Amino acid sequence: MTTFEAPRVEVVENALEPTAPARRRRVKRKTINTVIWFVVLLVLTAIVLYPLVWLFFATFKPSSEFGQNQGLIPNNPTFDNYTKVVEGIAGTPLYQFFANSFFIAIMAVIGTLISSALAAYAFARIRFRGVGILFAAMIGTLLLPFHVIIIPQYIMFQKLELVDTYWPLIIPKFLATEAFFVFLIVQFIRNIPRDMDEAARIDGAGHIRIFFSIIVPLIKPALITSAIFTFIWTWNDFLGPLLYINSPEKYPLPIALRLYNDATSTSDYGATVAVSFLALVPILIFFIVFQRFLVAGVATQGLKG
């Protein structure tokens, strides 16, 4: 009686398997969908990258060609723009502007990471009176635009005789004034189990050892994300250096760009475009080197939720 069960199952399985023509149609449909997706992605990538490609080719256009040739390829390609920008402007070589920008950006990254991580650890792990009110006040500063604090901050640094130095651009970074990064790191630390802290505390570890031995290695994705955004924002900052830096030899790149395109005299569009392209290179390198950590941090944060 039981010998009839097995053949019946095989017949049902064979009936569910697609035939050879059906499999070929399915493979062909998947291949067509893949090709369509690649074409769409290539078109979108070309649209996104076209301004950068146009900027690169524009660096080889002579200044007289700007306004007459809006196309991608220059009619009379030349390297004069790069020659002029390397020589510098206002008696200051180009590498000096790069060095100034690097110094400000690197110090801003170091200050932001140290101060934001320490403040985030205090908010996330240490229980003290008024922690909720202070955390809410810190979040409230996210709604405060930078332009509101320009005048009192400038008066304060002027009385300290720090105008025309880099200190007004660097000191706030070491005081955890970037509330966005503090909040980001707090969220990372809150996802770390407190059992690890308690186990370390049983072994005699204090807050400093717990912070450097347990917390810092586990929040590395958040720190790298903060470093990337701090570097890019500081590198592109124009208003801060414009307020506090007066000497041309101390100008960072965004202010130096203004010297090549002065509205009161003849603008050198070729040199301006060449400097603009060169100013993008460090940001691209920084992002390419650290973007895998940025993606890993986003993926880790998603898994923890």
pLDDT of residue 89: 76
CA 204 to chain centre: 38
pLDDT band at 264, cuts 50/70/90? low
Helix, strand, or coil (residue 287): helix
Q: At 126, phi and psi to the nearest 5?
A: -100, 130
For the stretch 29-78, pLDDT in tens is 888 888 999 999 999 988 988 888 888 888 888 877 877 777 788 888 88
pLDDT at 266: 64
Averaged confidence pLDDT in the chain: 83
Q: CB neighbours of 218 closer than 8 A, spacing ≥ 6?
A: 188, 192
The pLDDT, as a whole number, for residue 31 is 87
Under the banding of pLDDT at 50, 70 and 90, the label for residue 18 is low
Percentage of the chain surpassing pLDDT 90? 20
Minimum mean pLDDT range among 93-97, 138-142, 283-287:
283-287
* pLDDT exceeds cutoff 80 at 261: no
- 54 within 8 A of 71, measured Cβ to Cβ: no
Mean pLDDT for 107-115 is: 94
Average pLDDT for residues 296-301, to the nearest whole number?
A: 57
Mean pLDDT of 138-157: 86
Question: By the 8 A CB rule, do 136 and 179 touch?
Answer: no
Residue 295: predicted pLDDT = 62
Cβ-based neighbour number of residue 243 at 10 Å: 15
pLDDT for 32 equals 87
Mean pLDDT of 4-13: 52
Q: What is the pTM of this model?
A: 0.78
305 pLDDT more than 50: no
Largest CA distance in the chain: 103
What pLDDT score was predicted for residue 78? 83
Two tokens, residue 238: 């124009």
CA distances from 171 to 135, 144, 179, 254, 284 (A): 21, 19, 15, 20, 26
Amino acid 248 reads P
Domains and CATH numbers, the chain: 84-302 (1.10.3720.10)
Residue 70: its pLDDT value, please?
77
Whole-angstrom distance, CA of residue 217 vs CA of residue 220: 5
Helix axes 94-125, 179-190, angle to 10 degrees: 40
What the block records as the tokens of 18 is 């697609």
What span, in angstroms and rounded, lies between the C-alpha atoms of 168 and 148? 16
Is residue 38 within 8 A of residue 266, CB to CB? The reply is no
Give me the phi and psi of 19, to 5 degrees please: -75, 170
Of 121-130, 193-202, 226-235, 267-276, the range with the lowest mean pLDDT is: 267-276
Q: Can you tell me the mean pLDDT for 86-113?
A: 88
